[in-house]
Chain A
């Protein structure tokens, strides 16, 4: 069991005054079986005109905010204290062979089936099927295949935060063999959907470690993304293709969705504003 104190601050500075802005936030942690929320608050500056907190279609807490007076800056600061329990390492070899999935039309809950369906950034295709296939020989148990695929993406793809942007299609990621965690997650989800398996996008944080002998610097962590895959025997199991990890205790989940678009931590629309700059600082501190 570990307890983390998380600080996630996003700051916008606008080139010219914004007349009105609206933002959709996925920053408040959702309730997850292996996590306990000890505390959470959102600190937003300047003062809001409206704020609505609700739970979205996927069960994530979301916050809609609007600022309807002129402003030139916006700061959104999410502060959470979350306890993460150790999750069992499931027996991947005991899961259903991938070709036998789904096990019959009515057997799957609708909330699982939606994660097989195509979404904007992660659609099944023959190209992705070909990519996934080496990890899924005939008779391969579904989660063992998912684990092998995670390992392959980790080994065969290069982390490069200049090669892609928020809307890079997975086909391009596949072609250039590089990207960031979001790209790897989308790639793996689309590949798993191509072999007919349910996979979802997880938005959250990961604990990073400073190089040996160095002090950890404030604000150098990042918000992170990985995936989970569902099998009838195990339920949802997390895989992180960026770090080749399974059900790690150093991952803190915030929101689930079909892809990035469902859980984008902060997205907004401005009237006015001109050119803007955005800076993000994330800090994940283990508590003793």
Chain B
């Protein structure tokens, strides 16, 4: 995990900023070739000159924090994204050139795609060698003959760069997915928050209207009064996930993944808790070849089975048609000028970087003869995430074996390779703690088809690049910059999308159908949060008890059993704890496992990991505050306080007593956070189905935890004194001690404790309270029926509630043969077994079922 680091702290003793000096002989965006600050940069340059470096550092640190919040990807456990405090500024004249070139490219690629997936004149006329396209796996043959009514391209991004003399070239094209939009949007939001006033003073153009137009166009395409639009993105494990989900959130559209969808009768449907909902428009943000396991890559399930045929039958359903990745092929570079002449009757405004396709025999010979001067790249990159382009291979840097391998590859895989000569990059100022420094950069520009015309987003994303080795937009440390276009004379409305979205909205109380996957996630978020809460409470109580033990105040070992009970908990069975060795070092080893084991399902690291994963998937349903609380949960805090495992067994008690207070404090800190989240959901979440599922999860988990705790403590009687200790323990672990004290002035008696913790429906920590709410919640779910014919989960919930309501506390606390409490054990064991079954029934009814995961039939009868 990255946290704001010392990198942004100013160097000691530095107070004023040295003047900016560009690299000699290299074109710089701020100072051009002249060394003077260009007018477009003046507002920024002045601000940075007049602002104290220490203040600037504070801004830079704020950016780091905001970037961390926006880009941190708990799934990948890293956040390598960085945003510069200094923007990259273009005047309107330069931008107009970029705009014209980008739009020309969009038109050209659209024409090429229409031809490749149609008549293929480019082959018959000799404009393009067929092997270039036919070797490319992203040319999707099943899509041949499908003509999207509004053209193939809806989103594309182009990577521009200037050479050291200041001449423009295009180094890469991204037509496959809108990956990268999310990064540009998040950068702009972060920088506006920190440097909003400077942004306005610079009169830079806003990007909100661009997206608003895009959304309006999508709404128009979808048609109808309240169309269901879904952004089909990869699942959270994918590197593009963060960017896509950010874009979907910003555009206020549902993000869905393949398993959320089902194609029925050639239409695409979303699985919701109310059943299947027809999708009016699908915005594709997955790679085309992974979109349909039936007709495309057989092992990829990013899209639903049958999607290709659904698109053939209803081509208007998909925005960003399948198959667009083929024009990303870098081998096209050398053919683009003739293709532009052919399709557009124009010359290219800005050319690609000099590049040779190695499928061409002449080019191959030339490159093999001068291998050291070239960098070899794959023709097809396969990722649209900014900065993640693979580094090319340079023969001069290879070992003799590596070189031989490269030569063999050029011989046998040549249609899949291109060779480039490094051209070098111009620079732009980058902020450092010591002032502005020139850095080589490349620029990503975004184009979208809106109302049948291509429009360029007035802004974008710049990345620092390593000069020399880099030809594509690869950047190892991903230092990015926001791009400002200033001095445009067009009307720039001072509104962003956040506000516009509200204008056309009418009052709605119910949100659109809750996706089954989200319901599932919210249910488990409730369960995991409650599980963490319960576990931490028992840890705290056990430690307090243990500290007392060591002062020889008590000798009951059952709290340790309670800890083991949590640790050993297995949803399918009731664990027999009579054999547990309840020594003090067992307490510490249990504690250690609970706080550090990454494998234990019931361990805190696993629970917190699950919470973070769900938070990522449900981010559009969580407030910023909730997101911060949930992603900040970590078992580390407790784990660092544990005595080292190397501590000698005899020294353990004294080490433990010193640490116990610190551990308790760390546990309480986590409990506060969990409490904060519980409070936020309680206070801030509307009581819709999403809330119902989350609370249902909470209640099921709390009931299960409490039943487990009570069973481990009171299964057998250990004599009055010890039982009495354990009653205090139970009351405190269940946060009900104060209530008990206010009701009864004397030492706890078991039947009174059990009444409060099991039967009292006014106690929000009692079993009956949980079961009553479970029953109530289930009754409100969409598939619940009237009283006459209850669904199985309704019946089970009611059955459990009734059993608890009818229980007799005197009977429960009665000690029978072998010091056992038979009635109590029976009741609790039933709950421990039946609650997981209830959870299972709810899953089966409302969530994507495990057995609904598509299964590929793969066999060959060719013998």
Contacts and interface: CB of A to CB of B under 8 A. Distances in A.
B412 A194 contact: yes
A22 B305 contact: yes
Interface stretch (B118-126, B208-216, B723-731): B118-126
A79 B135 CA distance: 35
A68 B857 contact: no
B536 to A, nearest CB: 40
A267 B264 CA distance: 19
Contact of A117 (B134, B295, B854): B134
A63 B322 CA distance: 20
A118 B413 contact: yes
A159 to B, nearest CB: 9
A43 to B, nearest CB: 17
The size bracket of the interface on A is 35 or more
A117 B851 CA distance: 39
Interface stretch (A80-88, A106-114, A135-143, A149-157): A106-114
B309 interface: yes
A281 B361 CA distance: 48
The size bracket of the interface on B is 35 or more
B309 A64 contact: yes
Main secondary structure of the interface of B (DSSP, over half): mixed
A20 interface: yes
A113 B294 contact: no
Interface string B79-104: 00000000000000000000000000
A56 interface: yes
A260 B305 contact: no
For A110, A203, A260, A272, which residue has the most chain B Cβ atoms within 10 angstroms? A110
A12 B137 CA distance: 31
A284 interface: no
B123 A222 contact: no
B265 A110 contact: no
B141 A56 contact: yes
B72 to A, nearest CB: 35
B387 interface: no
Contact of A22 (B131, B294, B858, B863): B294
B142 interface: yes
Contacts of A176: none
Interface in A71-120: 105-106, 110, 113-114, 116-118, 120
Nearest to B409: A126
A167 B134 contact: no
A217 interface: no
A167 B859 CA distance: 9
Contact of A269 (B120, B144, B856): B856
B863 A166 contact: no
Interface in A44-75: 49-50, 52, 56-58, 64, 66, 68
B416 interface: yes
B857 A276 contact: yes
A131 interface: no
Interface string A250-261: 000000000011
B850 to A, nearest CB: 10
B130 A110 contact: yes
Contact of A182 (B313, B853, B855, B860): B860
B75 interface: no
A271 B852 contact: yes
B859 A278 contact: yes
A6 to B, nearest CB: 13
Interface string B545-562: 000000000000000000
B265 A270 contact: no
B412 A269 contact: no
B861 A269 contact: no
A126 B412 contact: yes
Contact of B852 (A50, A124, A167, A272): A272
Contacts of B856: 268-269
Interface string B243-283: 00000000000000000001111100000000000000000
Contacts of B408: 126
Given A16-B851, A56-B141, A110 B134 contact: yes
A151 B135 CA distance: 29
Contacts of B123: 110
Given A16-B851, A22-B305, A117-B415, A166 B134 contact: no
A118 B416 contact: yes
Contact of A274 (B130, B306, B851): B851
A57 B265 contact: no
Interface in B20-65: none
B129 interface: yes
A117 B412 CA distance: 10
Contacts of A167: 858
A234 to B, nearest CB: 21
Interface in A168-214: 180-182, 185, 194, 203
B499 interface: no
Interface string B124-160: 1010011100110100011010000000000000000
A265 interface: yes
For B262, B361, B855, which residue has the most chain A Cβ atoms within 10 angstroms? B855
Interface in A212-247: 222-225
B293 interface: yes
Given A66-B306, A110-B120, A272-B851, A222 B861 contact: yes
A13 interface: no
B411 A126 contact: yes
Contact of B294 (A185, A222, A268, A282): A268
Contacts of B413: 118, 123-124
Contacts of B262: 20, 271
Contact of B862 (A20, A24, A223): A223
Nearest to B293: A269
Nearest to B140: A57
B131 A129 contact: no
Interface in B387-428: 408, 411-413, 415-416
Nearest to A106: B126
Contacts of B265: 49-50, 68
A143 B389 CA distance: 42
A142 to B, nearest CB: 17
Interface string B708-731: 000000000000000000000000
A270 B854 contact: yes
A10 B134 contact: no
A208 to B, nearest CB: 10
A287 interface: no
Given A110-B124, A118-B416, A124-B412, A161 B863 contact: yes
A19 interface: yes
B860 A50 contact: no
A280 B294 contact: no
A280 B120 CA distance: 39
Contacts of A19: 852
A264 interface: yes
B223 interface: no
12 contacts: A58-B141, A116-B131, A118-B135, A124-B412, A126-B411, A222-B861, A223-B862, A225-B862, A260-B862, A271-B852, A271-B855, A276-B857
Rank and list the top 4 A-B pairs by shortest CB-CB distance, nearest first. Answer: A110-B130, A57-B141, A114-B134, A110-B123
